A and B are shown apart, each in its own frame.
Chain A
Amino acid sequence: MIVTGTHRVLVQGITGKQGTFWTERMQAYGTDIVGGVNPRKSGTDHLGVPVFSSAVEAAAHFASTGEGGVDVSVLFVPPAGARAATEDAIAAGAALVVVLTEFVPVHDTMAMVAAATAAGSRIIGPNTAGVVTPGEAFVGFMPAFDDRIFTPGRVGIISRSGSLGTLTAVELTRAGIGQSAFLGIGGDPVSGTTTADAFAALDAHDGTDAIAIIGEIGGRKEEDAAALVARSTKPVVSFIAGAASPPGKRMGHAGAIVEGATGTHRSKRAALTEAGATVVDVPWQLPDALAEQLG
């Protein structure tokens, strides 16, 4: 899930306003955009790359020319089309499908994740701002192109939120701490890539020396990642948003039975602290906490 400049990236929904705006920025940054998808504009060129009717057609075309496959596909697609577009990307052989779409029905997300798992693909998202490898490439809608925000380095960031992830990069860059990767896992309760999945990837990544987990109240993603944090030899710092927010409402008795005491700020902070992470009160304390952990 750490994207480099050699990964071949397809943009589903490339011709729309947001697809166009962000594809231009991805291209300028060094992301290898090899084509786009829009069934109504198939056969045309957009931003210097060919537009296909589907991801599967794009993959077939690339196979016939021998230029390579589709490594990554990114979706600028509305909620009603997200599931079909994801299944198309999986069928095209994309190893990574970045689903930026917000408001994907959760039953569709579950079906998408099941399809990806069966095919050996990975979904990032839905409702993610994407992934950034500073100095190399980015996929999604993160301000990677601004070197006051993202700078190359050796700290990996995992974030459920695009805006809070951006803030984290700003704070690290201002303190002279560069980043190896930003992995936006998305803000939905069910995600193709969890905090634990992203942590495992950064833990195994040679270019990453330390990891920042940027979480939020709700769900069990941070608690579930704590076991991996405890086993890791890399320093971990964390900020969990929502200490001052009223707790979310439980879903009937079932929600209380399943979640128990998890999901709260206190629960997440305790789980990560016990696992050896430094959990800070406000985001601007992250650089000092990292410096201290790195020694």
Chain B
Amino acid sequence: MKLTEYQAKKLLAARGIPVPPGRLVTTVDDARAAAADLGGRVAVKAQVRSGGRGKAGGVVVVDAPEGAAAAARRLLGSELSGEPVSELLVEQAVDIASESYLSVMIDPSAGRPLLLRSEQGGIEIESMTEAIERTIIPAGGFRAPDELTAVVVDAFVELDALLMEINPLAMTRSGRLVALDAKIELDDAAGFRQDHPADPGDATTERERKAAELGLRLIELGGDIAVLANGAGLTMATMDAIVAAGGAPANFLEIGGDAYTKATPAMELVLSQPGVTSLLVNFCGAFARCDVMTAGVVEAWTALAPDIPISFSIAGTGQDDAKEMVRAIGHEPHETMEGAVLAAVAAASGAARRDGPAEWASQGR
């Protein structure tokens, strides 16, 4: 889960890392009042989680308090990289002498935390890679080069963080270090032992939000072939195969892992997408049992009785019972994934073009 700048700075400040004085506001009046209290020049910063905020105009430095009110009026209710702006951080502007960079993340190849430090910082840091010092933090024992780095590395572990980034880390003209901007990403898997803030998720549509509430991850893609498969790997492969066969997947929705028992609500979700003219069910059961998943799918299909073609490919744990259930509702599972994918693509395009390749693919490979 990604934190907003305000949430991230709160965690840094609690560990003694200096951040500029500031206040979180949600209205124009509160922005004006916060700026008046802080006095002088202030930064008004949209609290969104997506990157490239500064370049997109989400950060402005203005003269308090009317400048802050004007900036708030412009930013509140707007969107930055598709993310609605509902909160602003109004912060005292800092007199910067120099900017540096500090971050810790998990290096996927080393399988260890990786410390990145640079004497230079700011939004162009990605193009200054030769100036960045990289240190893999070994298991059991690490001598941090300075106190602030030590605090950040300790916090990285204590918070179950995936990323902690301070950029820029500013030196003020009066010689103080201040974290001007911060990004923190926390490991959702550690929720059982951490008091992490509530995760707003990254759902962008009503259906995606509904799916998230059910513990399912749905991404709507706008195509006309609804996809229901188990496991992220097989679901991605199913989408790839649809595209390779000339079709367009409507969604990513996987019901693998413990979610394999949620086939009924998953089916209801994918069928409720507008513009779906064909449904492809592709199960390859390992831990996720085909019989359990298919029972859920058949239940939803029977209850909703949608008037679109459906193609099944079923293999793996529980496949024989699963195939019988499909036959019991009048459908014959395809022998192969290839057959099911081609049939689903043909059925979708066949709905648009009556003389489409439906016959070619309905041979039941």
Using a CB–CB distance below 8 Å, which chain A residues touch chain B?
Answer: 18, 79-80, 100, 102-107, 109-111, 113-114, 117-118, 129, 141-143, 146, 148-149, 159-167, 170-171, 174, 187, 189-191, 194, 214, 216-217, 219-221, 224, 239, 241-246, 249-258, 281-284
Q: Which residue of B lies closest to A260 (CB)?
A: B129
B51 interfacial by beta-carbon distance below 8 Å: yes
Using a CB–CB distance below 8 Å, which chain B residues touch chain A?
Answer: 51, 101, 103-109, 111-114, 116, 125-126, 129, 132, 139-140, 157, 160, 162-163, 165, 167, 183, 185, 187-190, 192-193, 219, 229-234, 236-237, 239-244, 249, 252, 256-258, 284-288, 315-317, 319, 336-338, 341
Q: Contact: A253 with B125, CB < 8 Å?
A: yes
Q: How far is the CA of A224 from the CA of B110 in the complex (A)?
A: 11
- Selected from B160, B231, B234, B249, the residue in CB contact (under 8 A) with A244 is B249
- B116: chain A residues at CB < 8 Å are 254, 257-258
- A102: chain B residues at CB < 8 Å are 257-258
Q: Contact: A245 with B239, CB < 8 Å?
A: yes
Nearest CB of chain A from residue B322's CB, rounded to whole Å: 12
Q: Contact: B287 with A242, CB < 8 Å?
A: no
- Selected from B108, B190, B236, B249, the residue in CB contact (under 8 A) with A189 is B108
Q: Contact: A110 with B111, CB < 8 Å?
A: yes
**Contact A255:B105 (CB < 8 A) given known A107-B190, A281-B240:** yes
Q: Contact: B189 with A104, CB < 8 Å?
A: yes
Give the 4 A-B CB pairs with smallest separation, nearest first: A161-B233, A163-B231, A114-B139, A164-B233
Q: Contact: B337 with A167, CB < 8 Å?
A: yes
- B341: chain A residues at CB < 8 Å are 282
Nearest CB of chain A from residue B336's CB, rounded to whole Å: 7
Q: Contact: B237 with A255, CB < 8 Å?
A: no
Q: Contact: A105 with B189, CB < 8 Å?
A: yes
Q: Contact: A167 with B241, CB < 8 Å?
A: no
- Selected from B106, B190, B284, the residue in CB contact (under 8 A) with A163 is B284
- B239: chain A residues at CB < 8 Å are 244-245
Q: Contact: A163 with B338, CB < 8 Å?
A: no
Q: Contact: A143 with B285, CB < 8 Å?
A: yes
- Secondary structure of the B contact surface, majority rule: mixed
Q: Which residue of A lies closest to B283 (CB)?
A: A163
Q: Which residue of B lies closest to A251 (CB)?
A: B163
Nearest CB of chain A from residue B162's CB, rounded to whole Å: 7
Nearest CB of chain A from residue B292's CB, rounded to whole Å: 11
Q: How far is the CA of A103 from the CA of B236 in the complex (A)?
A: 20
Q: Contact: B284 with A243, CB < 8 Å?
A: no
- B139: chain A residues at CB < 8 Å are 110-111, 114, 117-118
- B219: chain A residues at CB < 8 Å are 246
6 contacts between A and B (CB under 8 A): A80-B193, A107-B190, A167-B337, A189-B108, A217-B236, A284-B336
Nearest CB of chain A from residue B108's CB, rounded to whole Å: 5
Q: Contact: A254 with B190, CB < 8 Å?
A: no
Q: A129-B287, A252-B103, A253-B51 are in contact. List 8 more A-B contacts (CB 8 A).
A: A79-B192, A114-B139, A162-B233, A171-B337, A221-B109, A244-B243, A258-B105, A282-B237
Q: How far is the CA of A29 from the CA of B239 in the complex (A)?
A: 34
- B236: chain A residues at CB < 8 Å are 216-217, 241-242, 244-245
Q: How far is the CA of A258 from the CA of B190 in the complex (A)?
A: 24
Q: How far is the CA of A220 from the CA of B114 in the complex (A)?
A: 15
**Contact A254:B105 (CB < 8 A) given known A113-B111, A167-B337:** yes
Q: Which residue of B lies closest to A105 (CB)?
A: B190
- B104: chain A residues at CB < 8 Å are 254
Q: Contact: A283 with B237, CB < 8 Å?
A: yes
- B258: chain A residues at CB < 8 Å are 102
Nearest CB of chain B from residue A225's CB, rounded to whole Å: 11
Nearest CB of chain A from residue B54's CB, rounded to whole Å: 12
- A117: chain B residues at CB < 8 Å are 139
- A167: chain B residues at CB < 8 Å are 234, 237, 284, 315, 337
Q: Which residue of A lies closest to B237 (CB)?
A: A241
- Selected from B157, B165, B234, the residue in CB contact (under 8 A) with A164 is B234
Q: How far is the CA of A221 from the CA of B188 in the complex (A)?
A: 22
**Contact A106:B106 (CB < 8 A) given known A143-B316, A241-B240:** yes
Q: Contact: B286 with A105, CB < 8 Å?
A: no
- B287: chain A residues at CB < 8 Å are 18, 100, 129, 141, 162
Q: Contact: A164 with B337, CB < 8 Å?
A: no
- Selected from A104, A162, A250, the residue in CB contact (under 8 A) with B286 is A162
- Selected from A106, A217, A250, the residue in CB contact (under 8 A) with B187 is A106
Nearest CB of chain B from residue A192's CB, rounded to whole Å: 8
**Contact A166:B105 (CB < 8 A) given known A79-B192, A252-B185, A282-B244:** no
Q: How far is the CA of A281 from the CA of B241 in the complex (A)?
A: 8
Q: How far is the CA of A102 from the CA of B113 in the complex (A)?
A: 21
